[in-house]
Chains A and B, each alone.
Chain A
């Protein structure tokens, strides 16, 4: 197991206490390829207390003394730059940054971005009509999903927040599977137990979404540690929003991933809002990216509306993570064009003009379309035909899902534990008897009958 590294070397805890990561926190451009030196910073060579030289010997840091009293102040004006490949007109800015994706690969990304967009529109409307109980759109963040998913190995494990449906779509989750989950019908693999958009897929290595924010982050670090031990040369990608990054679990995840040397990509979707809370009320530092170096993580900020920039970033991050067993932080700057959810009206806290700018002037789908047109791969006719086809596919899946019955009611007791303990068996019997006694008071027609 060459990939398994002793975390503390062979010297044990007391020496470990003297050694910390070097303070060389220069932000590297991960696209430039794996850095050859960082392991040396991070490894603990033998320590000798050098009492001759007037240098600090504190175990908690490595630096010099200074005679000046100077606070380090946050530099919010010259923040970490935003890495970009395509300009807003879909032109490659620097030829050497062109990922040179094949026509088919770009088609695939574009098709899935627009298909996701189409599904969002129809499911959003269906919630407005009361046909599903809840929905969250992905408007404006489609490139972060497809760009990152395309750069991963299908075996890499995904931990998401809830606005990453495109990653699943890219990996092959079908429209029927999306719809079955939102309807909680008998073909939903989640058995109708969670709210809509809480997708999951074992085959596609996409861990089931849950509502509590940030909880998936330290879990993702743990999963990455297990992957490292398995020697499979795979990594974990963990998506989260700028708001979730304020949770204590985010801090835990970053710090554990760094100290335990986990092959993980933390992918932050900074879309400017956490429901109604703008980033100005979320943090005062230079966004999320500026936190990366303080945990000892390689970090990059990327234009989240540029599918190619996201692709390049994740591809390079993956190499760092898998080859060097180190966590990487990517902050994708974007804008949440839709409402937070169907339970939110975002005009209560932001202007329509602001939304319109991002929807019309700087949209990830539009930018990739410009690129495809400039390559001669796409035109209005193809666009019209595809949009029509996409709409039909979504509508058909939608209607199929709506017609299906829900799972049998007694399934509410299954999977609480792997086995069903006696008290749950009793409660299941009580429910069955009760419902049999009052059948007219329960929506039995919408549910499959119990099997036994």
Chain B
């Protein structure tokens, strides 16, 4: 993938992103201390009934999901900025050649247009897979998403809908993305009835959840943790399969503390599970929420009723972050079972900084400290 690194939105960031992501995850010189951002990806195993697998990283599994979608649905199209040659993160590599340039095509550089265009295609019953180059640039499309996509079915009494629309966008910290290549905007969309918001934690999850979004009859926003595009590698089923939306997954079972996260943060908390066990003898139950909205409160409530303690962690800022919604619901539903106040470990209430990223992140040490607080309360 020699082409990859150089391809970032012109005028917005002159430095390569995904090439550097790779080096960040791999071995770095000891002199460069980026401990906060360093994370090791633990490959998962797909259920055997999903069929034959092959080794893929996250961008390849997303490519594979869209390949399946285009192959099985002749109305399906993919469009956005720079998707025709393969995308700045390689997610659409080869698809234009395979399916034709009327099905995988570039649009003008205009996010409100991309969202509106996708809605219009979906209104006609076509499957529209739109890409926003970075989640940070989804805000120009906010009106189309919030006022239009989310409300289409409701306001027309189900005469018209744009359920065939999926919008993909890379999200989350990447080591050096600063203000506009690092954001996690899920909470803005969680306040919008009518759309689904989904974030995967790895390649198998990404393919199954993206295909579920594409096939779902509601407009979906699919946020892809871009730091995992190359870093996360595992054996992904090559065929067509879906994972359920609005369904959290208990990734690690435990009995003392419930930990909830999504996207890359699940990988951070997986390490915290081990640290808590080794250093404190504490058994943590790790839940990947997967769908932010409508979220699976039942799985979380059930877990907290068992453990009596809850930690929610996300990269996005604390105030108004989705952890607040989870904490509030759990407080209401699990009041008599809670042994300690709910802990939220999140980004700080600042813009996402460049050089200070290691100090901004809700890293494993901050989360580990929160587990100690929960236990010692």
**A382 in the interface (beta carbon within 8 A):** no
Quick check: A6 and B155 within 8 Å, CB to CB? no
For A8, the chain B residues whose CB sits under 8 A away are 84, 101, 105-106
- Nearest B residue to A211 via CB reads B147
- Nearest B residue to A3 via CB reads B102
**A252 in the interface (beta carbon within 8 A):** yes
Minimum Cβ distance to chain A for residue B209 (Å): 16
Name which of B105, B124, B161 has the most chain A CB atoms within 10 A of its CB. Answer: B124
For A202, the chain B residues whose CB sits under 8 A away are 159-160
Quick check: B218 and A417 within 8 Å, CB to CB? yes
**A329 in the interface (beta carbon within 8 A):** no
Whole-angstrom distance between the alpha carbons of A343 and B140 in the complex? 30
Q: Which chain B residues in 283-318 approach chain A with CB under 8 Å?
A: 294, 297-298
For B123, the chain A residues whose CB sits under 8 A away are 207, 219, 222-223
Quick check: A423 and B294 within 8 Å, CB to CB? yes
**A338 in the interface (beta carbon within 8 A):** no
Minimum Cβ distance to chain A for residue B303 (Å): 17
What string of 1s and 0s marks CB contacts (under 8 Å) between A390-432 and chain B? 0000000000000000000000001111110111100000000
A225: contacting residue among B120, B125, B155, B294, CB under 8 A? B120
**A235 in the interface (beta carbon within 8 A):** no
A226: contacting residue among B101, B120, B158, CB under 8 A? B120
Minimum Cβ distance to chain A for residue B242 (Å): 15
Whole-angstrom distance between the alpha carbons of A208 and B143 in the complex? 17
For A190, the chain B residues whose CB sits under 8 A away are 155-157, 159
Minimum Cβ distance to chain A for residue B216 (Å): 8
Q: Which chain A residues in 246-262 approach chain B with CB under 8 Å?
A: 248-249, 251-253, 255-256, 259-260
Name which of B120, B153, B196 has the most chain A CB atoms within 10 A of its CB. Answer: B120
**A22 in the interface (beta carbon within 8 A):** no
A416: contacting residue among B85, B102, B140, B154, CB under 8 A? B154
**A201 in the interface (beta carbon within 8 A):** yes
Contact A423 B148, CB 8 Å, known A217-B116, A222-B116, A256-B107: no
Contact A226 B116, CB 8 Å, known A215-B144, A418-B217, A423-B297: no
- Nearest A residue to B144 via CB reads A215
Whole-angstrom distance between the alpha carbons of A253 and B118 in the complex? 12
Quick check: B101 and A225 within 8 Å, CB to CB? no
Whole-angstrom distance between the alpha carbons of A230 and B124 in the complex? 10
**B53 in the interface (beta carbon within 8 A):** no
Quick check: B155 and A193 within 8 Å, CB to CB? yes
Contact A5 B102, CB 8 Å, known A207-B160, A249-B116: yes
Quick check: B120 and A218 within 8 Å, CB to CB? yes
- Nearest A residue to B107 via CB reads A256
**A152 in the interface (beta carbon within 8 A):** no
Quick check: B116 and A253 within 8 Å, CB to CB? yes
**A229 in the interface (beta carbon within 8 A):** yes
- Nearest B residue to A189 via CB reads B157
Whole-angstrom distance between the alpha carbons of A422 and B246 in the complex? 10
Quick check: B120 and A223 within 8 Å, CB to CB? yes
- Nearest A residue to B291 via CB reads A421
For B148, the chain A residues whose CB sits under 8 A away are 210, 212, 215, 219
**A4 in the interface (beta carbon within 8 A):** yes
Whole-angstrom distance between the alpha carbons of A207 and B121 in the complex? 13
Name which of A12, A219, A224, A248 has the most chain B CB atoms within 10 A of its CB. Answer: A219
Contact A215 B143, CB 8 Å, known A229-B102, A253-B113, A415-B158: yes
- Nearest A residue to B82 via CB reads A13
**B280 in the interface (beta carbon within 8 A):** no
Quick check: A417 and B75 within 8 Å, CB to CB? no
For A188, the chain B residues whose CB sits under 8 A away are 157
Whole-angstrom distance between the alpha carbons of A416 and B75 in the complex? 25
Q: Which chain A residues in 1-20 approach chain B with CB under 8 Å?
A: 4-8, 12-13
A220: contacting residue among B120, B193, B217, CB under 8 A? B120
**A198 in the interface (beta carbon within 8 A):** yes
For B196, the chain A residues whose CB sits under 8 A away are 417
**A200 in the interface (beta carbon within 8 A):** yes
Quick check: B155 and A422 within 8 Å, CB to CB? no
Quick check: A208 and B113 within 8 Å, CB to CB? no
- Nearest A residue to B296 via CB reads A422
**B362 in the interface (beta carbon within 8 A):** no
Whole-angstrom distance between the alpha carbons of A5 and B102 in the complex? 7
For B107, the chain A residues whose CB sits under 8 A away are 256, 259-260
For B110, the chain A residues whose CB sits under 8 A away are 248, 251-252, 255-256
Name which of B105, B155, B158, B163 has the most chain A CB atoms within 10 A of its CB. Answer: B155
Minimum Cβ distance to chain A for residue B217 (Å): 4
**B78 in the interface (beta carbon within 8 A):** no
Minimum Cβ distance to chain B for residue A249 (Å): 6
Whole-angstrom distance between the alpha carbons of A30 and B159 in the complex? 34
Whole-angstrom distance between the alpha carbons of A251 and B110 in the complex? 9
**B274 in the interface (beta carbon within 8 A):** no
**A86 in the interface (beta carbon within 8 A):** no
Whole-angstrom distance between the alpha carbons of A252 and B119 in the complex? 13
For A416, the chain B residues whose CB sits under 8 A away are 153-154, 193-194
Name which of A188, A194, A220, A226 has the most chain B CB atoms within 10 A of its CB. Answer: A226
Quick check: B159 and A201 within 8 Å, CB to CB? yes
- Nearest A residue to B102 via CB reads A4
List 8 A-B residue pairs with CB atoms under 8 Å apart, sorted by A's residue number. A12-B85, A159-B120, A226-B121, A249-B116, A415-B157, A416-B193, A417-B194, A424-B294
List 17 other contacts, CB 8 Å, given A201-B159, A226-B125, A251-B113.
Answer: A198-B155, A210-B155, A218-B117, A219-B120, A223-B120, A223-B121, A226-B120, A227-B124, A249-B112, A415-B153, A416-B193, A417-B153, A418-B161, A418-B217, A422-B297, A422-B298, A424-B294
Chain A residues with CB under 8 Å of chain B are 4-8, 12-13, 157, 159, 188-191, 193-194, 198, 200-202, 207-208, 210, 212, 215, 217-227, 229-230, 248-249, 251-253, 255-256, 259-260, 414-419, 421-424
